[in-house]
Amino acid sequence: MANLRNLKKEVRYVCGDLAAECLLAKTFINGADKKILTEAVRQIAHLQESALDKVHFSFDHKPGDFATSRAFTAARSAYYHKAYRSFREKFYAQVNEIVHLMNTSLPKPAKEATSDLK
């Protein structure tokens, strides 16, 4: 089971890596659309900020609500597992949208001349 601190680190690492890729593309790839990459960096910053704001989960039951402590522990574990999975699914869906935006900024590769030699 992941913990909250590691989940926050994961968000920061992913967003940091995406932003670095955008800045490298702006600097070193000729023909890259700098406006799209700047927009991607803005979206990455917004994603990180909003994800870190939403990353808090709270199990709203007490041990007394369950017949045994084992049932409480199992329910709490299932709750957090589902919450973390849902958070990651939503987060990575947004990451994929940003990656798609980043890809649209790159220049189209030149078609290579095909040879008639076989």
Asked whether residue 97 is domain-assigned, the answer is: yes
In a domain? residue 116: no
**What separation in angstroms does the CA of 46 have from each of 40, 51, 95, 98?**
10, 8, 11, 11
Q: What is the pTM of this model?
A: 0.83
Higher-confidence position of 97 and 3 = 97
> What is the percent of the chain where pLDDT is above 90?
81
How many residues in total does the chain contain?
A: 118
User: Residue type at 98?
Assistant: I
Domain annotation covers residue 30: yes
User: What is the domain range of residue 58?
Assistant: 4-105
With beta carbons less than 8 A apart as the criterion, state whether 54 and 18 touch.
no
Contact 61, 76 (CB under 8 A): yes
Q: Per the structure, how many domains does the chain have?
A: 1
Tell me: the pLDDT tens digits for 4-57?
Answer: 899 999 999 999 999 999 999 999 999 999 999 999 999 999 999 999 999 988
pLDDT exceeds 70 at position 118: no
Query: Does a structural domain hold residue 112?
Result: no
Per the domain annotation, does 79 fall within a domain?
A: yes
Determine contact, residues 67/90, Cβ cutoff 8 Å. no
Residues 86-114, mean pLDDT to the nearest whole number: 88
Mean pLDDT in residue range 56-60: 89
